[in-house]
Amino acid sequence: MTSVAAAAVVTRPPPARGLPWVLAVALVLTAIAYPLTDGAARDAVSWSIVLLGAGVSVSSAAVSRGRRAGLGVLVGVPLLAVLAEALGLSTGFPYGGYSYSDALGPTVLGVPFLVPLAWLMMAWPSWVLAVRLTAGVRPHRRPALRVLVATYLFAAWDVVLDPQMVQAGYWRWASPSPGLPGIDTVPLTNLAGWLLAGLVLMSLIGLLVARTAAPPAPATGDGPPLLVLGWMTLGGALAHAGWLGLPGSAAWGTALSLPVLVALARSLRRRSAAR
């Protein structure tokens, strides 16, 4: 084998590198079908979206930060999700009183399997975008601010998602008011709970990445989770306004996305100026 051929073999990207993109594109195409379906077909679409989203998160973490990081995310996020949701179901803390329907299938500690997978779908993209948005912050301030930004993104995503899931009949709230203006099916306690749970979760992800990520800094893998986050929030807001009859959550999703879009635009402009 010549030295050129050997170098080509060594530098050729592994086939798994494209997996996050395949899963992310499949998720987007599947999500388009959600407002066009109902009944059992919509349940199947919901399951598919969550499974694909979880796959994007785990494969992206593994490709961009190493297999140990991917495994840490795969195990750590669902475990914390089950514990937090089981606590919420049994005590009402920190979200408020709620219950799941049988439509979500098998459970562990009363928590449907789909729920920790949904946390997995939401958590890693929120973390990845927070890493991007805080890249220009002074190093000693960066870890704490990264956790706070990721927590905001994680909770903002749920502001859009939760009314949609209540509408689909997947869970219901014992006392849905007071809620955000325009959203009368989800209480404010849920938002407070997601902020608290997100703070714990993002701190956990920060520790996992710091202790397991393989050098060098990630060169690939961040595009797919960012695509998922952007589509599920902004695309979700569009679906809420146009097809699902949820204008309140559509407006809140758009409003909560604006500061993120402004911060992202400034970050990209700084990077362009630095080159």
What pTM, to 2 d.p., does this model score?
0.89
Residue spans of beta strands (DSSP E) within 93-211: 98-100, 107-108, 111-112, 171-173
pLDDT tens profile 165-197: 999 999 999 999 999 999 999 999 999 999 999
**In Å, how far are 110, 129, 232 from 125, measured between CA atoms?**
26, 6, 11
**Local confidence band at 4 (pLDDT 50, 70, 90 cut-offs):** very low
pLDDT of residue 275: 63
**What is the helix (H) or strand (E) element at residue 154, kind and residue range?**
helix 142-167
Residue in the structure block whose two tokens are 């930060």: 65
Q: Give φ, ψ of 213 to 5 degrees.
A: -65, 135
Q: Please tell me whether residue 140 adopts helix, strand or coil conformation.
A: coil
Gap between the Cα atoms of 53 and 73, Å rounded: 13
Name the DSSP class of 15.
Answer: G
Give CA–CA dist 158/126, Å, rounded: 11
pLDDT tens for each residue of 15-56: 478 899 999 999 999 999 999 998 899 999 999 999 999 999
Q: Tokens in use for 38?
A: 């109902």
